[in-house]
Every structure is written in C-alpha cells, then in structure tokens.
C-alpha cells in the first residue's frame, strides 16, 4: 500500500504503481518470469554488475541488465522477440556476483521458455531434442568413435541408451508428455521445409 | 586396492561419444585411488542444460530425474566427469529434494513410465571426489603417480557449471566454493608433477554453453579465442579441463578458430582424467589421444 503524500492525484496513481507499467506493458509477465525462474528480478536496482560480468556483452549488443529491466517492467514482447536473448552462455557469473541475490541467468532461461511458447527458438535447440528422441543422446555415437572405443578395449557403444535401447521408449514418453517432439518437428519443418 | 567408494558412473554424451579416452581413464585411474565406477545402464543425455532448460524447464527436470531414478534403483550415488552433466544431474536432484511441488510434478510424468523419484541418492563430480580429502585427496593423487609430468606447464579451465552459481552449491571441500580465484584444480595439476600456470581471466566461460555454440558459433568461438590469447601470453604446454563440452570447444574450436579468424594456437587440450591417466602410466593409445583435433604430440614429448 503506497503512502499518501498529498501529491496531485495523477502522481499518486503513478507512485502506487511500483513497477511504472507503461501502455505496452504486460504486468503479468513479471510474475510469470518470477514463477518459472524462481528468482526475484523485481529486486534489481540496475547496478550493471551482471552486464560487467558477462562474457557475451563485450562482443555483442546483448545486455543482461536490460533483460532484467524488461522482466520488471513487463515488457514481454520486447524481451521475447530480441535475438540477443539467445546469446547467454549460462555461465552464471552474473548470478554469482549480483548484489541483490537475483539469478539473472535464470531470468533469461524463463524468458526463453516463454519465447518457445510463441515458437521463437533457434533451430539448433530443437535438433538436440530430435537427437535425444531417437537415440537418448544429444551428441550420439559415430563410426570413428566406435572404432576408437573398440581399440581401447571398450564396447563400441557406451552402456547408455546406445546399448540398452529398451530405455528409449520411456524417454520418448516423457518428451511426448510435453508434446516436445511434435512441436520440434513442426517448427523445424516450417523453417527448413 | 579394494575399492572403498563405489559410484554409478554417469557418462553423458561427449565423453563416451567423442573423447572415449576420458571415460577409459576415469574408470582406470579411479580404481587406483579406491573408487569403483560401475555402469549406469540405460542413462541418457543429462539432458543438455542449455538446450532443454531453454526450451522447457519442466522437461529438463523430468529427463534428468529419469537418470537419477536409474541410480536410485541401484541404491548408489552418482559420479560424473562433465560440468554440464553436473548442472543437470546434481542441480535437478537438489531442486527436487527441496521443492515438493516440483517433485510431485516430475513424479506425475515419471508415473507414465513406472518410475518414481525418491531423492535417495547424491551426485558428485569426479574432480570434487579427487580433491576431497575424505574420499581421495591431493596427497593420494600424488602417491598414485608413476610417470610425473615434470617440466610441463599446464593451465586449468574450470568451466562454469560445476561451481556456479555458488549460492546453490554444496561441496565436501569448501575450497571448491571459491568461484573468483580458485586454486584447487591447480593443486591437483601440481600433484601430477606438472607446473600449474595462472593466466588472465582464468574463470571466464568457454563460450559454448547455453546453446550459443549452435546458435552463433562465431560469437562462441570469439569467447574461447579470448582465453586462448590469454593462455598464449603466459606460454603453456597444455590446457586441462573437467568438462568434455569445454574440451570440445577448445580442442575442435581451435580448428574452427583457424578457419574463421585465421589464427593458430596448436594448444593441446586434455581432460584432467586424461592427464591423470598419463601420470599413472597409461599410454597415449590407452587414452585415444589421436582422436583430439589438436595434436597432443609436443606435450607428450615433454612428459613421456
């Protein structure tokens, strides 16, 4: 509850709106991001320690501080359609150093989850899903490696889903539960024909 | 030596499918240090925290939980050798143990494949077990060396996801909680007889994570290139890592950096398990070092 300070009514209204939501803001975006990320972007005071710690910042226009601000201001479309969203290497340096105990990295992950709901996703992410659906591995074995393994005295395939293929249907069931494979196939087809 | 500690060996993808020498070395060197690594049959990709975490965190939780349940069924803790896998397997285990709502959600999915996550096991990185005095410790590692890597200057790339974010992590050895200027890996390198070397921005990321290597490879390589420049500045014979994905980024990445940026470093990149293997007398053939994109020969000539 904002304190009444005797300002003109318009200013009182503005002060009661702690997040200063503008016309293009979606206030529920702040809550959704906080729920998925399990962190607290609304505590950010924009010191910029995150951007200063970020290995992607010096070589691109990606500014993690800006994304945390967008979370706080409810600027959903601005955040989710910015291609810089995908330049976070998830190194967690910002999270380690944030003086407000926010995990900016997890804010990015939450935003990426929400972007995917709008089919905004780089294709390479979906290809990893497709590989795991078929083999259980994001980086599956190949013939050169199989030969090397045999030379080492190991089985050609590791004792994972590569050898125990009976586990693959279980993995497919999990991915299908979230309709992930169907969505991945659909989006890859739309992009690549 | 009879194994005092037994773990289910979670392999992940890149170690067994690209650098199988690390897997072979991990099993052999651990045995000499009193650790028995048994296969975790039917394990899958952890799944890749960058790719799956970005798409849908709920899928990431459920897929990692399936791997955890395999070890729970064996009633045995997990050991692994990849920072990315650690992020998925350790962190999901930690989250599910402490968040009932998440655990219930995951178990609803796992029920469809007759599995239930109970939270009955723990997850460790091999590097952390090697450093922890209560399991192995630096002294025991030193005692196991038969072929000291004397004269080799070796720098460490710690990578990100074993130690960061620090506030979530818990380690037996508190030295591992230092994410700004740690030296515990340098101690482990020194135990092999090599000279550990410090360099600028040692704790910087390799650039591959978060799906960036697949999304914008030039951007990812530029981050790795900055580290390679800093390494060249101090002069090292090899770079060691504890994450096969970082290893791939620095090893194969050097070929890609040459193609895209026109610079050449020829810096051998070895997983710490591979180094430990060499120091315990394994041959380069035992470690399939010929699979590395960057030849390890100049380094091997120095230490063998």
Test B63 with A171 for CB contact under 8 angstroms. yes
CB contact B84 to A (< 8 Å): no
| Chain B CA closest to residue A110 | B54
Rounded to whole angstroms, the Cα distance separating A191 from A123 reads: 8
Q: Which residues of B touch A164 (CB under 8 A)?
A: 41-42
| Chain A CA closest to residue B56 | A113
Same domain for A111 and A187, yes or no, is no
Q: Which residues of B touch A158 (CB under 8 A)?
A: 11, 16-17, 20, 23
Q: What is the pLDDT along chain B (304 residues), one digit of tens a residue?
A: 557 899 999 999 999 999 999 999 999 999 999 999 999 999 999 999 999 999 999 999 999 999 999 999 999 999 999 999 999 999 999 999 999 999 999 999 999 999 999 999 999 999 999 999 999 999 999 999 999 999 999 999 999 999 999 999 999 999 999 999 999 999 999 999 999 999 999 999 999 999 999 999 999 999 999 999 999 999 999 999 999 999 999 999 999 999 999 999 999 999 999 999 999 999 999 999 999 999 999 999 999 9
Q: Where are the beta strands (DSSP E) in chain B?
A: 5-10, 35-39, 78-80, 123-125, 153-157, 195-197, 238-241, 269-271
CB contact B42 to A (< 8 Å): yes
Partners of B124 in the β-ladder: B79
Distance linking the first and last C-alpha atoms of chain A: 54
CA-based diameter of chain A, in Å?
Answer: 82
Same domain for A86 and A172, yes or no, is no
Rounded to whole angstroms, the Cα distance separating B265 from B158 reads: 20
Residue A6 lies in a domain: no
Residue A10 lies in a domain: no
By CB atoms closer than 10 A (0-12, 13-18, 19+), residue A29 is buried
CB contact B147 to A (< 8 Å): no
Which 8-state DSSP code applies to residue A2?
A: P
B residues 171-190 lying closer than 8 A (beta carbon) to A: 179-180
Cβ of B79: how many Cβ atoms within 10 Å? 27
Residue A20 lies in a domain: yes
Q: Which residues of A touch B112 (CB under 8 A)?
A: 173-174, 177
Cβ neighbours for A186, distance < 8 A, ≥ 6 positions apart:
none
Rounded to whole angstroms, the Cα distance separating A108 from A87 reads: 10
Using one digit for the tens of pLDDT, what is the confidence trace for A139-160?
A: 999 999 999 999 999 999 999 9
Rounded to whole angstroms, the Cα distance separating B302 from B263 reads: 24
By CB atoms closer than 10 A (0-12, 13-18, 19+), residue B59 is buried
Q: Which domain holds residue A130?
A: 123-192
How many DSSP H helices and E strands does chain B contain?
14, 8
Which 8-state DSSP code applies to residue A4?
A: P
Test A128 with B212 for CB contact under 8 angstroms. no
Cβ of B285: how many Cβ atoms within 10 Å? 11
Residue of A92, A108, A151, A164 to mutate when probing chain B, most B C-beta within 10 A:
A92
Same domain for A131 and A173, yes or no, is yes
Same domain for A112 and A127, yes or no, is no
Q: Which residues of B touch A87 (CB under 8 A)?
A: 212, 215-216, 219
How close, in Å, is residue A24 to chain B by CA atoms? 25
Same domain for A149 and A172, yes or no, is yes
Same domain for A68 and A109, yes or no, is yes
Q: Which residues of A touch B16 (CB under 8 A)?
A: 141, 149, 158, 160, 162
Which CATH class name applies to B146-303? alpha beta
Residue A1 lies in a domain: no
Q: Could you say which of A117, A143, A163 is where a domain stops?
A: A117
Test B44 with A87 for CB contact under 8 angstroms. no
CB contact B6 to A (< 8 Å): no
How close, in Å, is residue B210 to chain A by CA atoms? 4
Rounded to whole angstroms, the Cα distance separating B249 from B225 reads: 10
Same domain for A100 and A161, yes or no, is no
What fold does the segment set B5-125 form as a domain?
Glutathione S-transferase Yfyf (Class Pi); Chain A, domain 2 (1.20.1050)
Instruction: Provide the residue ranges of all domains of chain B, joining segments of one domain with +.
Output: 5-125, 146-303
How close, in Å, is residue A20 to chain B by CA atoms? 29
Average model confidence (pLDDT) across chain A:
94
CB B86 within 8 A of CB B20: no
Using one digit for the tens of pLDDT, what is the confidence trace for A157-187?
A: 999 999 999 999 999 999 999 999 999 999 9
């Amino acid at each position: 509850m904002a304190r009444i300070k005797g300002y003109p009514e318009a200013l009182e209204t503005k002060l009661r709106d702690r997040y200063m939501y503008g016309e293009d803001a979606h206030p529920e975006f702040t809550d959704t991001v906080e729920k998925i990320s399990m962190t607290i972007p609304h505590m950010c005071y924009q010191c910029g320690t995150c951007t200063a710690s970020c290995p992607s910042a010096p070589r691109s226009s990606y500014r993690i501080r800006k994304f945390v601000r967008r979370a706080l201001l409810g600027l959903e479309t601005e955040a989710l359609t910015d291609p810089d969203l995908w330049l976070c290497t998830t190194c967690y340096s910002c999270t380690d150093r944030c003086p407000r105990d926010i995990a900016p990295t997890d804010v990015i992950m939450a935003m990426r989850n929400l972007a995917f709901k709008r089919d905004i996703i780089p294709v390479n992410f979906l290809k990893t899903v497709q590989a795991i659906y078929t083999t259980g591995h994001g980086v599956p074995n190949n013939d050169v490696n199989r030969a090397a393994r045999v030379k080492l005295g190991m089985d050609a395939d590791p004792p994972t889903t590569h050898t125990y293929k009976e586990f693959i249907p279980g993995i497919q069931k999990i991915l299908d539960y979230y309709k992930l494979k169907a969505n991945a196939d659909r989006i890859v087809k739309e992009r690549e024909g | 030596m009879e194994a005092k500690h037994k773990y289910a060996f979670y392999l992940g993808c890149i170690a067994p499918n690209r650098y199988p020498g690390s897997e072979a070395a991990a099993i052999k060197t651990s045995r000499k240090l009193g650790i028995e690594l048994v296969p975790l049959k039917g394990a899958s990709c952890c799944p890749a925290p960058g790719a799956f975490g970005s798409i849908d965190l709920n899928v990431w939780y459920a897929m990692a939980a399936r791997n955890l349940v395999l070890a729970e069924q064996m009633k045995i803790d997990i050991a692994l050798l990849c920072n990315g896998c650690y992020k998925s397997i350790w962190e999901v285990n930690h989250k599910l143990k402490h968040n009932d709502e998440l655990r219930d959600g995951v178990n609803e999915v796992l029920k469809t494949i007759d599995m239930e996550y109970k939270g009955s096991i723990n997850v460790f990185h091999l590097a952390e077990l090697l450093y922890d005095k209560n399991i192995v410790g630096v002294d025991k590692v030193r005692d196991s060396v038969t072929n000291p890597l004397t004269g080799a200057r070796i720098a460490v790339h710690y990578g990100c996801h074993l130690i960061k974010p620090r506030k979530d992590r818990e380690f037996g050895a508190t030295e591992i909680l230092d994410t700004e200027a740690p030296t515990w890996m340098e101690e482990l390198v020194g135990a092999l007889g090599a000279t550990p070397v410090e360099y600028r921005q040692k704790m910087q990321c390799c650039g591959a994570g978060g799906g960036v290597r697949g999304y914008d490879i030039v951007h990812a390589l530029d981050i790795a290139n900055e580290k390679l420049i800093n390494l060249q500045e101090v002069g090292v014979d090899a770079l060691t890592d504890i994450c096969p994905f970082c290893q791939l980024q620095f090893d194969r990445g050097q070929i890609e950096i040459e193609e895209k940026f026109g610079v050449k470093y020829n810096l051998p990149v070895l997983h710490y398990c591979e180094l430990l293997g060499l120091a315990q007398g394994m041959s380069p053939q035992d470690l399939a070092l010929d699979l590395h994109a960057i030849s390890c020969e100049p380094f091997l000539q120095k230490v063998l």
